Structure 1
Amino acid sequence: MKNLDHWIGGLAVAPGSGTYFDDLNPVDDSVYARVAAGTAADVDHAVETADKAFRQHRDLPAAVREGWMVKAAEIMERDAALFSEVLIDEIGSPAAKAGFETRFALSFLRAAAGVPRRVRGETIPSDTPGRFSMSLRQPVGVVAGITPFNVPLIKGIKQSAMALATGNAFVLLPSEAAPKVADLLAALWREAGVPDGLFNIVYGNGAEIGDALTGHPKVASITFTGSSRVGKHIAGIAARNLKKYTLELGGKSPLIVCADADLEKAVGAALFSIFMYQGQVCMGASRIYVERPIFDAFAKAFAAATAKAKGGDLREPTTMLGPIISERQRDRVRRHIDDARTKGAAVLAGAEWNGNSCSATVLSGVTPEMTVFAEETFGPVTSLYPFDSLDEAIDLANDTEYGLSASIFTRDIDKALRFAQQAEAGMVHINAPTLHDEPHVPFGGTKASGFGREGTEADLEIMTEWKWVTVQTATAGHGGH
């Protein structure tokens, strides 16, 4: 099996330690690839290389960077099947999810093509006569990106495309569970014409080398997607070193179903919101609140639909559920379900295992002393709760440390807009799933779900730095004569 080496300065670079780790296919835990185990020295090499490349290429015209995005989109469209295949085999994506992720990455590249020409400042009236005043947006330098296993292509494209489109250099530390996806990105950007050194990858264990990357003195900005615990740690490093950063973290997203909702649509949306990619999605609706008059009807319909959620062959288009990514995460899912059962929760559907896959699971009667009540499971598990009024639903939805996404199903626009205003979440969807993203929107959460926002507009805040420039003209002090 060919080893997967770091990508630094346009070259495959063996790890300084000489050691490699196994990248496993989660279907059966067979070895999918052997991957370089990075060290702090490898990180330093990548950042120094990126910094040098940035200084060499920082003044490239916007049209050149626009060209990279356009070409990358063409390559992504051409190689969509290859990207999907790797997503299926490396991280256990069902074909439908792999196709969605590839299409989103392509869409993001097309949206990013417009970014280089939008890196604009403005002219500003000055209080000093004869002084011309203006602001400029300039690239920050080296951007560090850390991506998760669950949507490695979406996040890898989001982070790297925005860094490159705004004139920066980029160093990627991908999840240990998704290195091959990152390797495909290196090939994509090189073919798209990005100069060597502007896009770099260091593989390895984030717990061991993440601090070397985020704390490196030549890293100016950090964009991270992962757990809230690690996000808080990175925020501390960024604060101590006065770095810009964006964090997209965990969630415990609520989905509200009012008595006047379209029941069939609400059931379908709930199914997608929590069981897409076997629940390994930060926006997953792991808390579903249903107004009491329709609680029993919804529970029955949702449990029946859940029981039909298909597992099995990942390449079959109708497969929704695949394997849980690792044994550590499987243990977490089992622990949450078993704890709830032991403490009296009812299992309305699922809670069965087939190899490394857990069936879609619906719980009822979940109480605060159960682990699943407040903690993010990150698996195909959701809980149903009744409510009696919209005020109660809003209070229940907000009773969490997280605040990523929220959804409400109702035909009453007043109720919908009131919920949208009062929900403590970065994103609220009305009569739609909790799970949704688009390239140009301000994507992100509040509270323990994140800091800052992602997107072709929002990312300008961490990818560029404002500079104020004034010019004192010769007519100053002459009163215009």
Structure 2
Amino acid sequence: MNQPTIDHWIGGTHHASQSDRTFQSLDPEDDSVIARAARGDARDVALAVDSAAAAFAAFRETSPSQRESILLRAAELLQQRSAEFRDLLIREIGSPVAKAMMEIGIATRVLKANAAMARRMTGRTYKSDVPGRWSLGFRKPIGVVASITPFNVPLVKGIKHSSMPLATGNTVVWLPSEQTPQIADAIARLYHDAGLPAGALNVVQGRGAEIGDDLVSAAPIRAVSFTGSAAVGRHVQSLCGSLGKRATLELGGKNPLIVLADADLDAAVGAAVRGGFIYQGQICMASSRVIVDQSLADAFTARFVAAAQALGRGDLTDPTTMIGPIISAKARQRIRDHLADAVDGGARILCGNSWTGNRVNPTIVSGVTSAMKLFREETFGPVVSVETANDRHHALELANASPGMLSAAVFTNDLDAAMIFADSLDTAMVHVNDMTIQQEPEVPFGGDGPAGFGREGMETGIEDFTTWKWVTLRR
């Protein structure tokens, strides 16, 4: 099969790496080589940053109508090219087709929603104490924004991390996951064909460990949007802090789904299955912990195990398939290590923990303790632990013992209990009677503490990617 070479996208055209080095992009289903991509170095980063900085001078002056039209046209083209993006998501990251189509739908909505933000850079007037003086506040684009994105939702994150900065008149340098070079290139071409000026979006392919610091540290970079692991995210935050740059981090966490005694059991089981196993658990909001009231524990666990064992594990193009391959050899080993550590510590495997090629069956574990890696760290696979709570207070205590939550869910028909949990759970996102995985473009999406810093979203994006200018006028 033809193996394309994916170059950087800089200044509106493709560029090979100045070192001429490449890296392999692998199909996670069988680890076969499906493409080669330019392996960027500091010189490529500098070229991309310089391109974005040069383009900013003109792009910041574009009208709201121009930026709005570009993003709306990109949304239109994304729908027209949905089959291309669907196939790339399936092949490059092992996405089952249902999840791939979900990504395309979300990314389209994000483009349309953020197009409207081109008209939301509103200012303010202030009553001045000085007679005869007008006091005005204006929002201005901040400058060049760096975007660093993960493999698991490359279309959604690629669009989110670029469309809001672009809507507000900034330019972007994007470092995508090394596992998604073809998807990143397809997004760059999408924007180009939608009319985005050359240099407004630049893509540097490569390994984050090699060139991430070069990008974040580059002098023209004014803000960084990062989605990825907690360890790398904190390093990015530290670097931004030392250099006086803005940072938004989305880092994931150990997300609980709580089932109280009065919950709708069928709805709770369905949400636990979807929230725990969509895209084989490789989603930052996945509910990797389920906490069940003791009165429902046996019934819930039996239904949960049965539903997990029945999940489709067929061809990725089959709409009934939910479980696909784990993205890389390193990720597969992490899952094996976490499960082995749990079993060695006395946990019990209720189902799963069996591999077929690069796929692991949905795995449910009981008896997990805080001493285990499965409790402390993101496994990032189709692995869910089940814990029993004595009552509501105990359930809340167990949930808040998590080392970090990005999202949480609670199932109850008691409005008072729902409000108490929504207010008391130590997370920035809570969903009542729904799964932990939720996404809408207008909401303040993100986490605090170990789960992140700042928020992605429409209103929050205005704050992140614009700066205030105060102007006074004397009559």
TM over 0.5: yes
SS at structure 1 position matched to 2:459: coil
Kept in 1: contact 2:375–2:402 (CA 8 A): no
Kept in 2: contact 1:443–1:453 (CA 8 A): yes
Residue matched to 1:103: 105
1:340 Cα deviation from its structure 2 partner? 1.3
| Equivalenced residues, count | 473
1:327 Cα deviation from its structure 2 partner? 0.2
SS at structure 2 position matched to 1:301: helix
Residue matched to 2:279: 277
Distance, in Å, in 2 between the alignment partners of 1:333 and 1:348 is: 16
TM-score normalised to structure 2 length: 0.99
Q: Select 1:161's aligned residue among 163, 170, 175.
A: 163
Distance, in Å, in 1 between the alignment partners of 2:244 and 2:370 is: 39
SS at structure 2 position matched to 1:134: strand
TM-score normalised to structure 1 length: 0.97
Residue matched to 1:317: 319
Kept in 1: contact 2:263–2:412 (CA 8 A): yes
Distance, in Å, in 1 between the alignment partners of 2:287 and 2:42 is: 38
Alignment of 1:404-423 (within 5 A): 404-423=406-425
Distance, in Å, in 2 between the alignment partners of 1:248 and 1:371 is: 21
Residue matched to 2:226: 224
Distance, in Å, in 2 between the alignment partners of 1:26 and 1:2 is: 17
1:427 Cα deviation from its structure 2 partner? 0.3
Residue matched to 1:436: 438
Residue matched to 1:396: 398
For residues 309-367 of structure 1, the C-alpha deviation after alignment (integer angstroms, 9 at most, x for no partner) is 11120000000000000000000001111221222211111111000000000001112
Kept in 2: contact 1:121–1:134 (CA 8 A): yes
Unaligned runs of 5+ in 2: none
Kept in 2: contact 1:401–1:447 (CA 8 A): no
Residue matched to 2:84: 82
For residues 416-467 of structure 1, the C-alpha deviation after alignment (integer angstroms, 9 at most, x for no partner) is 1000001111100000000001011000011111000001221111111111
Aligned AA (2:234): K
Residue matched to 1:197: 199
Distance, in Å, in 2 between the alignment partners of 1:442 and 1:233 is: 23
Residue matched to 1:112: 114
Aligned AA (1:232): R
Q: Select 1:93's aligned residue among 95, 117, 130.
A: 95
Distance, in Å, in 1 between the alignment partners of 2:371 and 2:221 is: 42
Identical aligned residues as a percent = 49
For residues 84-103 of structure 1, the C-alpha deviation after alignment (integer angstroms, 9 at most, x for no partner) is 11000000000000000000
Unaligned runs of 5+ in 1: 474-481
Residue matched to 1:22: 24
For residues 178-216 of structure 1, the C-alpha deviation after alignment (integer angstroms, 9 at most, x for no partner) is 111100111111111011000100011101100000111
Residue matched to 2:383: 381
Distance, in Å, in 2 between the alignment partners of 1:69 and 1:47 is: 22
Distance, in Å, in 2 between the alignment partners of 1:57 and 1:454 is: 22
SS at structure 2 position matched to 1:466: strand
Aligned AA (2:473): V
SS at structure 1 position matched to 2:116: coil
Kept in 1: contact 2:410–2:431 (CA 8 A): yes
Distance, in Å, in 2 between the alignment partners of 1:329 and 1:379 is: 8
1:400 Cα deviation from its structure 2 partner? 2.4
Distance, in Å, in 2 between the alignment partners of 1:469 and 1:107 is: 36
Distance, in Å, in 1 between the alignment partners of 2:315 and 2:217 is: 42
Runs of 4+ more than 4 Å apart: none
Distance, in Å, in 2 between the alignment partners of 1:186 and 1:373 is: 39
Residue matched to 1:363: 365
Q: Select 2:341's aligned residue among 339, 342, 350.
A: 339
Matched, 1:206 2:211: no
Kept in 2: contact 1:252–1:285 (CA 8 A): yes
Aligned AA (1:443): F
**Root mean square deviation of aligned Cα:** 0.8
Matched, 1:133 2:135: yes
Residue matched to 2:458: 456
Distance, in Å, in 2 between the alignment partners of 1:421 and 1:165 is: 33
Q: Select 2:66's aligned residue among 64, 67, 88.
A: 64
Aligned AA (2:194): A
Aligned AA (2:320): T
Residue matched to 1:294: 296
Aligned AA (1:356): N
1:2 Cα deviation from its structure 2 partner? 2.9
Distance, in Å, in 2 between the alignment partners of 1:243 and 1:40 is: 19
Aligned AA (2:49): V
Matched, 1:173 2:175: yes
1:368 Cα deviation from its structure 2 partner? 2.1
Residue matched to 1:55: 57
